Structure formats: structure tokens, C-alpha cells
Amino acid sequence: PFTLVLARSGRSMDLPAGTPLLPALRALGAAVEASCEGGICGACRVRWLEGPPIHRDRVLKPAERATDCMACVAGCAGPRLVLDL
Ligand code: FES
């Protein structure tokens, strides 16, 4: 399990390990675009502040992964994932 935290709105939600972020973000009221929902289009890119995320996408370059993740496929490798939302 991990805690998904939205830094700007101050909202958070506890999620089971392996849960995709996108439905949780919608439930928390975050406005995140999405299209493919499979980690290939880049629409759902979000900035992360604390992690690390598990990436699973096919669009981000290694340097981009240091700051961003794809909400439709990303998970969390630690106890807390903080997003810049
Ligand atoms: Fe396409 Fe996430 S919706 S990469």
C-alpha cells in the first residue's frame, strides 16, 4: 500500500500496491488529461515531487522520469507518492 498525496490541493488517498493512479486522481478531483490510458500517448504526464514512482510507460526518457510520470500506468515503489497537483 502507499499514500498518494497531491501537494497543491493537500488531498491524499491510501491505495493498495499496484493500483493505477488515474482513477484515484479523478476521485480526488485532480484535472488530469488522459487519452490512451496505456502509457504511450503522453497526455497524462504529471510532475512528481516525492517517490519514487514505478514508471511502466513507453514515452518518457530517463531524464524525464526523474521529474515526471504517466498517471495512467505509474505506480509507487515506496510508502508515499507526492505529485505536483
Ligand atoms: Fe496516454 Fe497516459 S493517457 S500515456
Residue 70 Cβ inside 6 Å of ligand 1? The answer reads yes
- Residue of 26, 41, 60, 65 best suited for mutating to test ligand 1, as the one with most atoms within 8 Å of CB: 41
* pLDDT tens, N- to C-terminus, the chain (85 residues): 999 999 999 999 999 987 889 999 999 999 999 999 999 999 999 999 999 999 999 999 999 999 999 999 999 999 999 999 9
> What is the model's pLDDT at position 77?
93
Integer CA distances (angstroms), 34 to 14, 27, 45, 50, 80, in order: 22, 14, 9, 22, 23
Whether this model's pTM surpasses 0.90 = yes
Q: What is the DSSP string of the chain?
A: -EEEEETTT--EEEE-TT--HHHHHHHTT-----SSSSSSS-TTEEEEEESPEE---SS--HHHHTTEEETTT-EESSSEEEE--
Assembly ipTM:
0.99
What local confidence, expressed as pLDDT, does residue 24 receive? 96
What is the CA(73)–ligand 1 centre distance, in A?
Answer: 8
Task: Please report the atom of ligand 1 found closest to the CA of residue 34.
Answer: 3
